[in-house]
Amino acid sequence: MTYSTTPPGSQQALAAVLPAELLGLFDDTFVRSCELLEEYVHRLAVGVFRSTGLEHACTESATVSEAVRRAGLAPEIAQVPAAWILHTLASRGWIEQVDGSRYRCLPALSAPDPEEIFAAQTTYDPRCLPGYRIAALAAEHYPGVLRGTVTGEDALFAPDHIGAWLEYFSNDNPLYAIANSVGAIAAAHALPIDGATVLELGGGLGSGAEALLDHLQKADTGKTLLAYRFTEIVPAFLRRARKLLSARFSGQPVSFAWLDMNEPFARAGVAPGSCSLVYGVNVLHVARDLATTLAEIRHALADDGALVFAECVRPFADRPLHVEFVFNLLDSFRAPLLVPGWRPNGGFLTPEQWTAALEANGFGSIEVLPDIVTLRADYPSFMVAAISARRAA
């Protein structure tokens, strides 16, 4: 079987529903590469279904908890990743969902070859391959993590894997850079004209800041930065970001500091009411206690200040996303403090859940760019957005 790499001609259809400033980001090459990566991850999931013992565990119909127990996996670790695997394979028709909560293997489950998709992406747009390498890295470590012999953090972020993450968290990787680009557009809208002070949370390796600062330079809107404070919790990431951003934006007032968003911001020297904008890319969904983090953000903002964060947004509450395949291995992703109504699960949230979370924690004037609620009926896989909010009175 040959997997087609013909673009689907989505650009014209998207033009009817996307703001003009975003349309160029979601071209046919990007959309097709997203589809290819999703297919690659789903095929990897079949291999993980087997390597973790879940296939044997589902010879007889099983709930997720029963499958985890039969496979000898660690329940406190494996419940969320196993649920994702079973739900995903059932959605593809590769295993049977007997009722709302039980799963069973089908006779002669085929093993679709993920390398076929890797080869197709290599031909189509090799810039997207970092996402494939990270997904393959996760697949390799699934058995050990789900059995509790190694943590997901240690498995995925071992020193010899840092190079793969450098390539992944990069503006040269279109499938990751899209969040940086959408976030930069939304953040630029939120900044005041003069004297803006920005606090970036969880800046990682610096690609989000790079995209925003580059956007502001190119936009030439007259907006000026008084200060841009880049923060990160991982010292190695902070050092690399400092090197990148200091070289690229030597004329900008960028400073660097360690900050744990799960702790009081004052410990990192953030004064109350000192920020025009608190900004983050793919970070708030891993807050251990989202209410506490949002309270710290609100405390840091000036009266007219804004919170803008770019996220992978879950279009529908009950549908697994292919990007969860990797991050379900991380405790910080799958096991935060849950809150009924707006924090029902770890990881990614729906637009409605983010709106409810912000409203419950002292924010208003909430906007989602683009409007996922409008998009999702026709584009159920559209999951990149920037969310902006202001301090409520």
Amino acid identity, residue 185?
Answer: I
Q: What's the pLDDT score for residue 221?
A: 63
- Same-domain check for residues 24 and 159: yes
Per-residue pLDDT reduced to its tens digit, 318-330: 899 999 999 999 9
- Per cent of the chain over pLDDT 70 is 96
Q: What's the pLDDT score for residue 1?
A: 41
Of 105, 135, 168, the one marking the end of a domain is 168
Q: What's the pLDDT score for residue 10?
A: 60
Average the pLDDT over each of 44-48, 110-114, 139-143, 305-309 and give the range with the smallest value. Answer: 110-114
In a domain, 331, yes or no: no
Average pLDDT over the chain reads 94
Per-residue pLDDT reduced to its tens digit, 140-192: 999 999 999 999 999 999 999 999 999 999 999 999 999 999 999 999 999 98
Q: What's the pLDDT score for residue 224?
A: 80
Q: What's the pLDDT score for residue 105?
A: 96
Of 122, 148, 168, the one marking the end of a domain is 168
Type and span of the H or E element at 226: strand 225-232
- Same-domain check for residues 370 and 243: yes
- Same-domain check for residues 132 and 250: no
- Same-domain check for residues 139 and 182: no
Q: What's the pLDDT score for residue 16?
A: 76
With 0-12 / 13-18 / 19 or more C-beta atoms within 10 angstroms meaning exposed / middle / buried, residue 29 is middle
Q: What CATH code is carried by the domain that includes residue 309?
A: 3.40.50.150
Domain count, the chain: 2
Q: What's the pLDDT score for residue 3?
A: 53
In a domain, 75, yes or no: yes
Q: What's the pLDDT score for residue 99?
A: 87
- Residue 327 · residue 373 · CB < 8 Å: no
Pairing of strands 225-232, 254-258: parallel
Nearest alpha-carbon partner for 128 in 82, 76, 183, 168: 168
Nearest alpha-carbon partner for 176 in 25, 308, 318: 25
In a domain, 306, yes or no: yes
- Same-domain check for residues 135 and 159: yes
Average the pLDDT over each of 149-158, 220-229, 253-262, 298-307 and give the range with the smallest value. Answer: 220-229
Of 168, 187, 205, the one marking the end of a domain is 168
* Per-residue confidence band for 216, with pLDDT thresholds at 50, 70 and 90: very high
Average the pLDDT over each of 84-88, 228-232, 372-376 and give the range with the smallest value. Answer: 372-376
Average the pLDDT over each of 69-73, 145-149, 379-383 and give the range with the smallest value. Answer: 379-383
Q: What's the pLDDT score for residue 82?
A: 98
- Same-domain check for residues 267 and 301: yes
User: Could you tell me which residue, 108 or 117, shows the higher pLDDT?
Assistant: 117
* Per-residue confidence band for 305, with pLDDT thresholds at 50, 70 and 90: very high
- Same-domain check for residues 110 and 206: no
Q: What's the pLDDT score for residue 190?
A: 95
- Same-domain check for residues 46 and 157: yes
- Quick check: 218 pLDDT over 60? yes
Angle, CA of 241, 247 and 253, to the nearest 5°: 80
Structural domain including 153 reads 18-168
Q: What's the pLDDT score for residue 6?
A: 47
